[in-house]
Structure 1
């Protein structure tokens, strides 16, 4: 029944009045049963009881709203921490690749330096053997046999010049090779320094990745704790609302609700007949707004399911790898925030994408001071849109809030709200 759906949505008295004016009732809905006929004393007692329980419901509703606001803030925090973790992973992968390249370069430089060292040592041994042979013959410039074989003074001078040239070339070659070894050793040292830097950056990236993962898990843990707290408060509020409904029934409140419902039903039937004759697309702007609002309100109490909802109604949710999976949204039939907007506006032939960020780009943006019933409201963190709701008027809105909740009417939350509304009609 309508009253049961109102209680499930957790609405205020102003919301109830608005819902009774606008919300459609499913076919076959039953009117509330007639109230009992209590005595005057029973009426006084029951009204006092209803007043006390109404105060309790108001307090619990306020606490639920605070818990939900904190839950929405925690959801935004989790999303930011996940992005930071993704950045840390990308940085770590880049640091690991840089370290791999640096290790390969250092190994190549070491091999080159080792090879240059072996060549220089061989050249040094050759020169040492040349000098030792010269001294054995009593000369520092060559073997005595070289002079004994000369065919005259000019031949002797030529042999001396040749020996000096050979000795000088060997020494020059050794010096050149020694310089090459020093150069290779410098390159090896530079390569090792680059490797040390790359390893340091990799270690820093690993620490950053661990810190980001820890921060993400801490944010998720806080969110899980808040979800549990919100569930407890919602359960307590629902129990209090049931008790309040019973007290109101004893005080005769349901009779008035029934009259209001019958008045609304008659108006709704007249409008349905008019719509059947002309179609929603042919209605003036005000009539189209009413169609959109009625379609959204018709889903009050429907389960939230992340990724759920299309132009035809609620659908099975999707996996998100986090909170939605913990609530089993992929096994539920329902709406998420943007899915509810898709269904509401489909009633007047407007097609919307299943992403609140893209929905914020449709239509005409108007200042919040000028928002009107039928406008879409958005919430953002760091300039990024992450939630959407439909404005009903009188500071009320209808939304699919988060996993574990249901489509509901709530007061407009101004914390984190985008500074504009989007008007499609």
Structure 2
């Protein structure tokens, strides 16, 4: 028993010594090729990059909101500019009317003055004749020829007749003079009234001219505001583009750092696995060497014992040999048991390593989910920062389509620039944000006749056939340039020059909005003035559900005040309209619009 204990102690000591030497010198254990460690960013670096990305996203959302708000302001400024333009046209028409009235008043005053002069001449002539009659009568001693007439009478009745005739002649001459004087007085009064009317007409002309100057100045102010708004929008769009670029760079940096961390963790796991493999291999090698040494020592001892007992009896030798064989079998069993234990330890170590790796991965996923939930909660607490990278994100969030001015709207998502983002992608799911739908309540009165203002439509009369023909007449000019102030009943004309795209309109032959509608109806014998506010008042107002081709659609800054109307189009049927939109554009056919300032519709000729 003591010998067996010493043997076990020797085996343990030998294993420890050999294992230490093997690990120190690397003898008998081949190390795997582990590459140098990759970069390992710190948790603070990753957190800082994520914070930068979140701040950049918030700034993108803020700038998107500013851009959307500024675009709304631009739309309002454009509407106001169009309104001021219409008021300038109104002032031009009013000046023309005042000039015509002043000319007519001047003509009336001149005619009255001429009539007064003629009447004065007639009175002077009559007075001269009366004076001559009176002088002749004085020379006769009575009324001219009275004595001669009486003395030449042949009878009493003839004498009486001649006396009555002379009396009537005197009365008639005096009545003529009195009537001429009355006529002269009336002519003088008419001349005075004509001069007063002429003065009033001239004053009205001066007031209209002053109003025209005021309207022109107001339009210039609106134009300047529109230019400033467009410059501000361009500046914000540039800032938004830069911020979106910074946001993408921040996201890229986060991804790079996270990828570096993942690569480092993979390297670290590989390094630990290699170290564990080396350790286990060293243990196995040490155990094998110890077993081999022990076997060699035992074999040598057995051989020495056998040689020492050579002279012993064969049975003793055989017994010794049997004992040696038994010990060899025990050693073999011990070696096999040691190998099995080593294999079990290796399997357990690998299983533990795999379990640790799975736990680490699960922990990382849980941490990522918690971080995402915290980010979602933070974003939900800040509704003003809404940002959709793509229209698919907006659809997934149930926000599409997004109108200009609403959270999440960006010009980059508005593919056709009509103020509605993500409408094409959203329409595939069964709902379209644009088109010719007539849903919603209609604006304006549904019936009733309008009161005239400034001018009146000709009595050409309305019919469905005329409405369709008016649309066809307007559509013949599709593709014609817009020209502010251009167009009349005969066709396109040179427009009026102004800022913000209309600087060259006085050199462009085309139509503006009211010029196109005026031309279309003029071809069917219905004359309406080239001013949208006057056109709105000339005819029966119809509801949206009762629209017919040829009806005029109006848009105002204030839908409760027709004097703020700034644009008019012609309904073409089937939810479409034809219009001359703005300077720089062309006459086109598009979907009818019943929001964004729609105030109502008028049917010309009714």
Per-residue deviation, 1:44: 4.0
Residues 1:78 and 1:58: Cα distance change in structure 2 (over 3 Å): same
Hey, what's the Cα distance between the residues in 1 that align with 2:89 and 2:230?
25
Q: CA deviation at 1:213?
A: 1.9
User: Using a 3 Å threshold, how does the CA distance of structure 1 residues 417 and 102 change in structure 2: closer, same or farther?
Assistant: closer
Aligned to 2:336: none
1:165 Cα shift?
A: 3.2
**Using a 3 Å threshold, how does the CA distance of structure 1 residues 288 and 74 change in structure 2: closer, same or farther?**
closer
Shift of 1:293: 7.0
Contact 2:115–2:187, Cα closer than 8 Å, also in 1 = yes
Which among 135, 145, 148 is matched to residue 146 of structure 1? 148
State the partner residue of 1:102: 105
Q: CA deviation at 1:127?
A: 0.6
Corresponding residue of 2:4? none
Structure 2 unpaired stretches of 5+ = 1-37, 260-388, 394-424, 436-478, 485-497, 505-542, 546-554, 560-564, 568-581, 585-594, 600-606
112, 116, 119: which one aligns with 1:116: 119
Deviation at 1:120, TM superposition (A): 0.7
Partner of 1:177: 180
**Alignment root-mean-square deviation, CA:** 4.7
Equivalent residue for 2:253, pick from 236, 250, 253: 250
Cα deviation digits, residues 20-65 of structure 1 (max 9, x gap): xxxxxxxxxxxxxxxxx97424544433332333333333223222
Q: Which residue of 2 aligns with 1:77?
A: 80
Aligned to 1:382: 558
**1:223 aligned to which of 220, 223, 226:** 226
Q: Which residue of the partner structure matches residue 40 of structure 1?
A: 41
- Give the number of the structure with larger relative contact order, counting CA–CA contacts within 8 Å between residues 6 or more apart: 1
Q: Does 1:195 align with 2:198?
A: yes
Show the counterpart of 2:326.
none
* In structure 1, C-alpha distance between the alignment counterparts of 2:502 and 2:256, rounded to whole Å: 40
Deviation at 1:241, TM superposition (A): 1.7
- Where structure 1 has 5 or more consecutive residues not aligned to the other structure, the ranges are 1-36, 265-285, 297-315, 329-359, 363-378, 387-401, 405-414, 420-425
For 2:212 and 2:198, how far apart are their aligned partners in 1? 21
- Describe the shift of the 1:417–1:98 C-alpha distance in structure 2 as closer, same or farther (beyond 3 A): closer
Q: Distance in 2 between matches of 1:214 and 1:385?
A: 17
Once the two structures are overlaid, the 10-residue window that deviates more, 39-48 or 217-226, is: 39-48
Which is higher, the Rg of structure 1 or of structure 2? 2
**CA contact 2:558–2:597 (8 Å) conserved in 1:** no
Q: Deviations over 1:288-339 (max 9, x none)?
A: 634997999xxxxxxxxxxxxxxxxxxx9954546762799xxxxxxxxxxx
Question: Which residue in 2 is equivalent to 1:325?
Answer: 501
Number of residue-to-residue matches in the alignment: 269
Q: CA deviation at 1:131?
A: 1.1
Is 1:289 aligned to 2:438, yes or no? no
How far 1:125 moved relative to its partner?
A: 0.8
Residue 74 (structure 1) shift:
1.2
Report what 2:235 is aligned to.
232
**Structure 1 residue 130 displacement after superposition:** 1.5
Note if contact 2:223-2:500 (Cα within 8 Å) is conserved in structure 1: no
* SS of equivalent residue, structure 2 residue 120: helix
Can you list the C-alpha shifts for 1:397-422, whole angstroms capped at 9, x where unaligned? xxxxx999xxxxxxxxxx96889xxx
Match of 2:136 among 128, 133, 141: 133
